[in-house]
């Protein structure tokens, strides 16, 4: 299962060599963006929940990090960038704490759609770098492009 939790390192324009982390199942998201390379979201939700034990995910990342180092590959960032919205993970804060212990800066790439929740903001504060996406500044275009969960407001 470690292959499902960690991948790379891969080159990143902003983060150098990035070791990716999948902390949620594919296509569990707050949006179902028209341009998503994964296709239509399977589960569009704003309900945070536990998906995988954070210790299991962190162990897989540590294993992949060791393998990268053994192959002479550097890692500039561990990046939580799953095939969906990472802040849906109820245990994101615990996962980020565990990943930080690996001695590599930790980044999170998110839609920012759940930033209105105190717990999400607190968890993201544990990261070294957070990237928030913004596709539209108006409600209409945002709904047409990102196709957010109906409970979300721009």
In whole angstroms, how far apart are CA 62 and each of 17, 36, 55, 72, 112? 15, 29, 10, 15, 27
In this predicted structure, what is the pLDDT of residue 82? 86
Straight-line distance from the first to the last Cα atom of the chain, in angstroms, rounded to the nearest whole number: 36
Q: How many domains does the chain have?
A: 1
Q: What is the pLDDT of residues 138-153, one digit of tens each?
A: 888 888 888 888 888 8
Which whole number is the average pLDDT over 37-45?
A: 78
Please give the residue range of the domain that contains residue 41: 2-146
16 within a domain of the structure (yes/no): yes
Q: What pLDDT digit, counting tens, does each position of 98-118 carry?
A: 999 999 999 999 989 999 999
pTM above 0.85, yes or no: yes
In a domain, 153, yes or no: no
Q: What whole-number distance in Å separates Cα of residue 3 and Cα of residue 101?
A: 20
Look up the CATH number of the domain holding residue 14: 3.20.20.70
* Residue 1 pLDDT greater than 50, yes or no: no
Identify whether 154 is part of a domain: no
């Amino acid at each position: 299962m470690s292959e499902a939790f960690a991948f790379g390192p891969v080159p990143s324009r902003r983060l150098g060599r990035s070791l990716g982390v999948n902390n949620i199942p594919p296509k569990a998201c707050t949006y179902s963006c028209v341009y998503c390379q994964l296709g239509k979201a399977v589960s569009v939700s704003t309900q945070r929940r536990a998906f995988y034990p954070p210790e299991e995910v962190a162990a897989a990342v540590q294993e992949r990090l060791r393998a990268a180092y053994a192959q002479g590959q550097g890692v500039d960032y561990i990046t939580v960038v799953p095939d969906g919205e990472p802040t849906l993970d109820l245990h994101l804060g615990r996962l980020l704490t565990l990943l930080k212990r690996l001695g590599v800066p930790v980044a999170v790439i998110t839609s920012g759609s759940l930033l209105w929740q105190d717990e999400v903001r607190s968890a993201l504060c544990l990261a070294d770098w957070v990237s928030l996406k913004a596709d539209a500044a108006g409600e209409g275009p945002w709904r047409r492009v990102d196709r957010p969960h109906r409970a979300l407001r721009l």
